[in-house]
């Protein structure tokens, strides 16, 4: 885990991403989603560092997927440090963020509350 990379604007975990060896993140000037990422554009337009800084219960862009929406909701409830602590503990316990491509153990959820419980406990 590269904790110093933290959480992306949309809530995804840059700190655990399999792309973090060559991706500089949302604000690096090298973001691969610069032209199309609706969440990046919106948060920048509103002068937010992250989508979790916004009061809206947004479902646009990446939030059509459970993982970024769930991670953002987790941070809104418990804070970014708690998310990073949970992700770090879960990684030590064998939970994998990206197992095949960009799909991993946090992607196997249909319910956001189940994902949040999994983040907190490390148990399905």
Task: Convert the pLDDT of each residue in 67-105 to its tens digit.
Answer: 999 999 999 999 999 999 999 999 999 999 998 888 999
Q: Is the dihedral of CA 92, 17, 28, 6 positive or negative?
A: negative
Q: Given pLDDT bands bounded at 50, 70 and 90, which one contains residue 34? A: confident
CA distance from start to end of the chain: 22
Q: How many CB atoms lie within 10 A of CB 5?
A: 17
pLDDT of 31 above 80? no
Report CA 89 to chain centroid distance, whole Å: 16
pTM: 0.91
The H-or-E segment that residue 43 falls in is helix 38-45
- Residue owning tokens 């990073």: 84
Rounded to an integer, what is the distance from CA 49 to the centroid of its chain?
Answer: 13
What phi and psi, each to the nearest 5 degrees, are found at residue 25?
95, 180
pLDDT at 29 over 80: no
The rounded mean pLDDT for the chain is: 91
């Amino acid at each position: 885990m590269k904790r110093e990379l933290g959480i992306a604007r949309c809530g995804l975990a840059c700190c655990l991403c399999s792309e973090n060896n060559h991706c500089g993140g949302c604000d690096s000037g090298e973001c691969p989603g610069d032209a199309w990422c609706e969440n990046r554009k919106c948060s920048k337009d509103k002068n937010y560092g992250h989508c979790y800084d916004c009061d809206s219960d947004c479902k646009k862009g990446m939030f059509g997927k459970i993982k970024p929406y769930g991670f953002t909701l987790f941070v809104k409830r418990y804070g970014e440090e708690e998310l990073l602590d949970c992700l770090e503990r879960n990684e030590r316990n064998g939970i994998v963020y990206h197992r095949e491509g960009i799909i991993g153990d946090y992607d196997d959820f249909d319910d956001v509350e189940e994902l949040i419980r999994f983040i907190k406990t490390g148990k399905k």
